[in-house]
Structure 1
Amino acid sequence: MAISLAALRQMILAHPKALAQGLSLLVLAAAYSPVSVLNLSPVYGSAATKLFHRYGMAVTAILGWFLKERIHEMSRGRIARLLPVLAVSIAAIQFLLFKLSSWLGSPFGPVITESFTYYPLLALSIAASAKLIQYATEISRYGETIAEHGPLIASYVVFNLAERISEAFISKVIGSTFLLTRYGLQLVIAALYAITIPSKSLVLTIPLLLLSYTSNVHVPTKHTTAVLNERIQPYGFELIDRRDSLTGYISVLDNLNEGYRVMRADHSLLGGEWTKLPGQYNPKVKDPIYAVFTMLEAVRLVETEPPRPADQDSKALVIGLGIGTTPGSLISHGIDTTIVEIDPVVYYFANKYFHLPHNHTAVIQDAEKFVKKSLASPTSPRYDYIVHDVFTGGAEPINLFTIEFLQQLSDLLKDNGVIAINFAGDLSLYPAGLVVRTIKHVFPSCRIFREDAAMENHPAVDFTNMVVFCTKAAGTPIRFRNPVPADFLGSKARETYLMPKHEIDASAFETIEKGGQRLLKAASVDHIAAFQDRSAIGHWKIMRTVLPDAVWENW
Structure 2
Amino acid sequence: MAPKKQVSKRKGPDVGQAPPETKEDFVNELKTLAGQANNDTWSRWAKQQVAVYGKASALVILTAVYANVSVLTLSPVYGQIAANRLHQYVVWTGLFVGWAGNLALRRVLPVKTITILPLIALHIPMFQFYLFALSSVFGVEYGPAITEALTLFPLVVVSASCIADILDEADLSGLPSSIASPAPGLVSYIVFRYSETSFFTQLVEQMGTSIMQTRMALELVLAATYSIMGRSQLLRYAVPSILHAAFYNTHLMTESATTSLNSTLNINGWSLVDRWESNTGYISVLDSYANGYRVMRCDHSLLGGEWTKFGRKIVAEPVYSVFTQLEAIRLVQVPGKVPDNEAHALNIGLGIGTTPSALISHGIDTTIVEIDPVVYKFASKYFGLPSNHTAVIQDVVSWSQLNAETLHEHFDYIVHDVFTGGAEPVSLFTDTFLKGLEHMLKPSGVIVINYAGDFTLPSLSIVVNTIRDIFPSCRIFRENEPPSEDSVRETGRDFDNVMIFCTKTEHDITFRKPLEADYLQSLSRRQFLVPQHEVPLSALSTIDEVGILRANETEKLAKWHDQSALRHWDVMRTVMPITELDVTFSKAAAKSRAANLPSVRSSGPTKLKSGLYSSATWLILPAANAYLAANTDPALLLSSSNTYEGLE
Superposition deviation, residue 12 in structure 1: 5.2
The one-letter code sitting in structure 2 at the alignment partner of 1:418 is V
Distance 1:418 1:10 in 2: 73
Asked if structure 2 preserves the Cα contact closer than 8 Å seen for 1:242 and 1:249, the reply is: yes
1:402 counterpart residue number: 430
Q: Deviation per CA, 1:306-326, whole angstroms, max 9, x where unpaired? A: 3x1110000000000000000
Distance 1:511 1:10 in 2: 71
The yes-or-no answer on 1:420 pairing with 2:454 is no
Superposition deviation, residue 360 in structure 1: 0.2
* More displaced 10-residue stretch of structure 1: 213-222 or 13-22: 13-22
2:619 counterpart residue number: none
1:235 counterpart residue number: 268
2:600 counterpart residue number: none
1:483 to 501, 505, 514: 514
1:324 counterpart residue number: 353
Superposition deviation, residue 65 in structure 1: 1.3
Asked if structure 1 preserves the Cα contact closer than 8 Å seen for 2:465 and 2:543, the reply is: no
Superposition deviation, residue 453 in structure 1: 0.8
2:551 counterpart residue number: 522
Superposition deviation, residue 456 in structure 1: 1.2
User: 5 Å matches for 1:169-208?
Assistant: 169-208=202-241
Distance 1:15 1:453 in 2: 69
TM-score (norm 2): 0.81
| Distance change >3 Å, CA 397–CA 22, structure 1 → 2 | same
The yes-or-no answer on 1:130 pairing with 2:164 is yes
Distance 2:246 2:129 in 1: 12
Superposition deviation, residue 446 in structure 1: 0.6
TM-score (norm 1): 0.94
Asked if structure 2 preserves the Cα contact closer than 8 Å seen for 1:49 and 1:107, the reply is: no
Superposition deviation, residue 41 in structure 1: 0.7
The one-letter code sitting in structure 2 at the alignment partner of 1:298 is A
Superposition deviation, residue 143 in structure 1: 5.5
The yes-or-no answer on 1:223 pairing with 2:256 is yes
1:4 counterpart residue number: none
The one-letter code sitting in structure 2 at the alignment partner of 1:297 is E
Secondary structure, aligned partner of 1:242:
strand
The yes-or-no answer on 1:152 pairing with 2:180 is no
Asked if structure 2 preserves the Cα contact closer than 8 Å seen for 1:447 and 1:506, the reply is: no
The yes-or-no answer on 1:345 pairing with 2:382 is no
The one-letter code sitting in structure 2 at the alignment partner of 1:339 is I
Give unpaired runs (5+ residues) of structure 2: 1-40, 585-648
The yes-or-no answer on 1:433 pairing with 2:461 is yes
Distance 2:578 2:370 in 1: 29
Asked if structure 2 preserves the Cα contact closer than 8 Å seen for 1:283 and 1:490, the reply is: yes
Distance 1:349 1:52 in 2: 32
Superposition deviation, residue 554 in structure 1: 3.7
Distance 2:427 2:43 in 1: 47
Distance 2:287 2:365 in 1: 31
Asked if structure 2 preserves the Cα contact closer than 8 Å seen for 1:272 and 1:288, the reply is: yes
Aligned pair count reads 540
The yes-or-no answer on 1:35 pairing with 2:72 is no
| Distance change >3 Å, CA 264–CA 550, structure 1 → 2 | closer
The yes-or-no answer on 1:256 pairing with 2:289 is yes
Q: Deviation per CA, 1:138-187, whole angstroms, max 9, x where unpaired? A: 33685643442110121012112221232122122211112111111001
| Distance change >3 Å, CA 240–CA 178, structure 1 → 2 | same
Asked if structure 1 preserves the Cα contact closer than 8 Å seen for 2:461 and 2:546, the reply is: no
The one-letter code sitting in structure 1 at the alignment partner of 2:331 is L
Structure of higher CA gyration radius: 2
Asked if structure 1 preserves the Cα contact closer than 8 Å seen for 2:132 and 2:581, the reply is: no
2:497 counterpart residue number: 465
Give unpaired runs (5+ residues) of structure 1: 1-6
2:319 to 268, 271, 289: 289
1:455 counterpart residue number: 483
The one-letter code sitting in structure 1 at the alignment partner of 2:468 is K
Q: Deviation per CA, 1:2-58, whole angstroms, max 9, x where unpaired? A: xxxxx9998653354343322211111000121001111111111100011112212
The one-letter code sitting in structure 1 at the alignment partner of 2:534 is E
Superposition deviation, residue 305 in structure 1: 1.4
Secondary structure, aligned partner of 2:505:
coil
Secondary structure, aligned partner of 1:375:
coil
Secondary structure, aligned partner of 1:358:
coil
Asked if structure 2 preserves the Cα contact closer than 8 Å seen for 1:284 and 1:490, the reply is: yes
Asked if structure 2 preserves the Cα contact closer than 8 Å seen for 1:400 and 1:406, the reply is: yes
The yes-or-no answer on 1:313 pairing with 2:346 is no
1:72 counterpart residue number: 106
1:494 counterpart residue number: 525
Distance 2:392 2:558 in 1: 29
Superposition deviation, residue 517 in structure 1: 3.8
Distance 1:362 1:380 in 2: 19
Distance 1:236 1:73 in 2: 54
Q: Give the share of equivalent positions with the same residue, in percent.
A: 44
Distance 1:146 1:126 in 2: 20
Superposition deviation, residue 214 in structure 1: 1.3
Asked if structure 2 preserves the Cα contact closer than 8 Å seen for 1:102 and 1:549, the reply is: no
Asked if structure 2 preserves the Cα contact closer than 8 Å seen for 1:245 and 1:343, the reply is: yes
Asked if structure 1 preserves the Cα contact closer than 8 Å seen for 2:261 and 2:580, the reply is: no
Superposition deviation, residue 380 in structure 1: 6.1
Asked if structure 2 preserves the Cα contact closer than 8 Å seen for 1:319 and 1:340, the reply is: yes
Asked if structure 2 preserves the Cα contact closer than 8 Å seen for 1:47 and 1:393, the reply is: no
The yes-or-no answer on 1:385 pairing with 2:419 is no
The one-letter code sitting in structure 2 at the alignment partner of 1:532 is H
Asked if structure 1 preserves the Cα contact closer than 8 Å seen for 2:458 and 2:541, the reply is: no
The yes-or-no answer on 1:503 pairing with 2:534 is yes
Distance 1:50 1:35 in 2: 12
Asked if structure 1 preserves the Cα contact closer than 8 Å seen for 2:456 and 2:494, the reply is: yes
Distance 1:223 1:237 in 2: 17
1:213 to 235, 240, 246: 246
Distance 2:400 2:181 in 1: 51
Superposition deviation, residue 507 in structure 1: 2.8
| Distance change >3 Å, CA 507–CA 552, structure 1 → 2 | farther
Distance 2:296 2:344 in 1: 27
Distance 1:264 1:138 in 2: 53
Asked if structure 1 preserves the Cα contact closer than 8 Å seen for 2:410 and 2:441, the reply is: yes
* More displaced 10-residue stretch of structure 1: 176-185 or 163-172: 163-172
Superposition deviation, residue 335 in structure 1: 0.2
2:200 counterpart residue number: 167
Superposition deviation, residue 69 in structure 1: 1.6
Superposition deviation, residue 114 in structure 1: 0.1
Secondary structure, aligned partner of 1:415:
strand
2:149 counterpart residue number: 115
Distance 1:290 1:117 in 2: 38
1:92 counterpart residue number: 126
Q: Deviation per CA, 1:223-279, whole angstroms, max 9, x where unpaired? A: 1111111111122111011111000001111111111111110111110011001xx
1:360 to 389, 398, 402: 389
| Distance change >3 Å, CA 19–CA 198, structure 1 → 2 | farther
Superposition deviation, residue 215 in structure 1: 1.2
